[in-house]
Amino acid sequence: MRLFWKVFAVLWLATLLVGGSGFLVSRTLQQDWLLLQLNPELRDFAEQLVNTYEQGGPRQAQRWLEQQRRTDDLRAHLFDEAGNLLLPGTLPAIPRFAPGPGPDQPRRGDGPGRGRLFQLAWDSDKASYFVTLHVPPPALWETQRAPVALILNIILAMALLALLSLVLSRYLTRPLRQLGSAAQALAKGRFSAGSLQQTSQRRDEIGELAQRFESMAEQVQSLLDSQQQLLRDVSHELRSPLARLRVGLALGSQRDLSADDPLWQRLDRECDRLDRLIDGILTLSRLDSQREPATAFALDPLVRQVVDDSRFAAADLQLDLSGQSDLRLNGWPDQLQAALDNLLRNAVRFSPADGQITIELSGDAHGAQIRIDDQGPGVPDEWLSRLSEPFVRVPGQSADSGYGLGLTIAQRAIARHGGSLSFARNSAGGLRVTVKLPANKGASN
């Protein structure tokens, strides 16, 4: 249920309950039984009148009624079970049993006037009686003269509204406080994905906000973590070439060297390595921060183009491509092409001369799969899960085999398209790379 309708329903229900309760309280305060209970002199009036009538007779009962009229302005008639008038009474008319004046007849001037008319019944040991009692406003309970009912209505309304407001305020502010705490944790770089699980399960606008905030926070936290790790790795990787450059420059400044001296060539190679390292770092940074809109493209022509380019660069190797996926993706073809090119260049680099690299392309309703198998030395099992980490090099790799950023770039580009990259050993002992891309899935930014 949407939050708008929840708030509307609560406010509407509160208004309805306050109005209904006020009406019920007002009606309750005007009930005969309640007025009689709150006014003992009215509650015992019928009993006293019947006792006086049965013990003292009609004359004494009439005198008692006259006394009540003079002292408390209470007027009454006494009837038997059949509705016959037993006493003259003190009421000018018989409201219960006698017909009232017609529309063209004037009302009697000595009528009871304003007040409340009660119809009371009393059963004695001898007979059953009915009493018609008229009570003027001053003789009623204080609700007729003082705004007690209004005060009670206001108190009840305030209490009910306070309770509903408390429930509504807690319902609205509790998830907002959780969002605020999560935002503060994200600002400190300590956001936990499960901190908004309860709020994100709500099925209203706050739940949608929590889900979107959680998704954004996870991406931001992941970006912060990767950037911090990248900075640590970069600082570590830059130390070695910078140290060699510093030593080479110190040696070159101490002696007069010719232009073809091996030292200058060594310094030139170190500069090239630094350039490649910086280029890889910038590529990673662009993958994390790019905001270009996704475009639709076909996967099979892209894979064939990458394989053709790799065949041209590795003429001594045999690259075999088989299968098709017929998949169309919504993403960034340049990034995916660079990722596949990195994977193939990695296979080419570690394949033996006259080796074979097989590329199998397949697809189904769920997506496509690209599998690359080489005949290289392979990777120990304990290192397979770490190949896509930045600056990770398997023990035994030569120093000029790269900085360990190619597979990281490939993994980031594939993940941006909603896919996955995994590594395993194939039957020939080489490395098997598996790329899975989902069908009809746009990449996340």
Q: Are strands 318-323 and 356-364 parallel, antiparallel or unpaired?
A: parallel
Domain boundary pick from 250, 273, 289? 289
Based on the fold, state whether residues 252 and 345 are members of the same structural domain: no
Is 221 a domain residue? yes
pLDDT at 280: 65
Percent of the chain with pLDDT over 90: 15
- Looking at 188-261, list the stretches that DSSP marks H as alpha helix, in order from N- to C-terminal side: 197-200, 205-254
Q: Output the six-digit token pair for 433.
A: 């790379």
pLDDT at 222: 74
Kindly report the CATH number assigned to the domain that includes residue 262.
1.10.287
Check: CB of residue 445 under 8 Å from CB of residue 291.
yes
pLDDT at 214: 78
Is 90 a domain residue? no
Based on the fold, state whether residues 277 and 328 are members of the same structural domain: no
Q: Output the six-digit token pair for 124.
A: 């004695």
If we measure between CA atoms, which residue out of 219, 125, 151, 211 comes closest to residue 444? 219
Structure-model confidence comparison of residues 172 and 359, the more confident one: 359
> Nearest 5°: phi and psi at 79?
-125, 155
Q: Pick the most confident of 276-280, 372-376, 382-386, 397-401.
A: 372-376
Is 272 a domain residue? yes
pLDDT at 109: 42
Distances in Å between the Cα of 275 and the Cα atoms of 279, 400, 402 are: 6, 13, 12
Kindly report the CATH number assigned to the domain that includes residue 430.
3.30.565.10
Query: What type of residue sits at position 130?
Result: F
pLDDT at 104: 47
Query: Residues near 128 by Cβ (< 8 Å), separated by ≥ 6?
Result: 80, 81, 121, 122
Instruction: Flag the least confident range among 144-158, 199-213, 303-317, 319-333.
Output: 144-158
Check: CB of residue 335 under 8 Å from CB of residue 372.
no
Is 281 a domain residue? yes
> For 320-349, how does the pLDDT look when each residue is reduced to its tens digit (9 = 90+)?
999 999 899 888 888 898 889 889 988 888
Based on the fold, state whether residues 327 and 413 are members of the same structural domain: yes
How many CB atoms within 10 Å of residue 179? 19
Is 394 a domain residue? yes
pLDDT at 162: 72
Give the residue-averaged pLDDT of 191-215.
74
Instruction: Flag the least confident range among 35-39, 116-120, 262-266, 362-366.
Output: 35-39
**Is the pLDDT score of 85 beyond 80?**
yes
Tell me the C-alpha distance between 340 and 347, whole Å: 11
Confidence band (pLDDT; 50, 70, 90) for 177?
Answer: confident
pLDDT at 404: 64
Structure-model confidence comparison of residues 366 and 231, the more confident one: 366
Give the residue-averaged pLDDT of 280-307.
77
Structure-model confidence comparison of residues 308 and 291, the more confident one: 308
Based on the fold, state whether residues 259 and 337 are members of the same structural domain: no
Based on the fold, state whether residues 343 and 254 are members of the same structural domain: no
Tell me the C-alpha distance between 236 and 81, whole Å: 111
**Is the pLDDT score of 110 beyond 60?**
no
Q: Output the six-digit token pair for 353.
A: 């001369």
Q: Pick the most confident of 84-93, 138-147, 396-405.
A: 84-93
Tell me the C-alpha distance between 78 and 61, whole Å: 9
pLDDT at 286: 63
Based on the fold, state whether residues 304 and 276 are members of the same structural domain: no
Tell me the C-alpha distance between 236 and 244, whole Å: 14
Based on the fold, state whether residues 260 and 225 are members of the same structural domain: yes
Tell me the C-alpha distance between 44 and 409, whole Å: 97
- DSSP-based three-state secondary structure for 81: coil
Instruction: Flag the least confident range among 138-142, 150-154, 164-168.
Output: 138-142
Q: Output the six-digit token pair for 334.
A: 């340049």
Give the residue-averaged pLDDT of 269-273.
69
pLDDT at 303: 93
Based on the fold, state whether residues 428 and 343 are members of the same structural domain: yes
Q: Which residue range forms the structural domain that includes residue 396?
A: 294-438
Tell me the C-alpha distance between 372 and 357, whole Å: 7
Tell me the C-alpha distance between 263 and 119, whole Å: 124
Domain boundary pick from 226, 258, 289? 289
Is 139 a domain residue? no
Structure-model confidence comparison of residues 39 and 215, the more confident one: 215
Check: CB of residue 251 under 8 Å from CB of residue 263.
yes
Based on the fold, state whether residues 322 and 218 are members of the same structural domain: no
**Is the pLDDT score of 304 beyond 90?**
yes
Structure-model confidence comparison of residues 423 and 259, the more confident one: 423
Q: Where are the extended beta strands (E) located within 6-155? A: 75-80, 116-123, 128-135
Mean pLDDT of the chain: 75
Domain boundary pick from 241, 273, 289? 289
Based on the fold, state whether residues 275 and 307 are members of the same structural domain: no
Helices 262-289 and 205-254, axial angle in degrees (round to 10): 170
Tell me the C-alpha distance between 345 and 350, whole Å: 9
pLDDT at 133: 84
- The number of folded domains in the chain is 2
Is 400 a domain residue? yes
Instruction: Flag the least confident range among 198-207, 304-313, 326-335.
Output: 198-207
Is 407 a domain residue? yes
Q: What is the pTM of this model?
A: 0.46
Based on the fold, state whether residues 333 and 348 are members of the same structural domain: yes
Tell me the C-alpha distance between 336 and 367, whole Å: 15
The dihedral built from the CA positions of residue 437, 443, 444 and 445, taken in this order, carries a sign that is: positive
**Is the pLDDT score of 213 beyond 60?**
yes
Based on the fold, state whether residues 301 and 334 are members of the same structural domain: yes
Tell me the C-alpha distance between 254 and 262, whole Å: 15
**Is the pLDDT score of 149 beyond 70?**
no
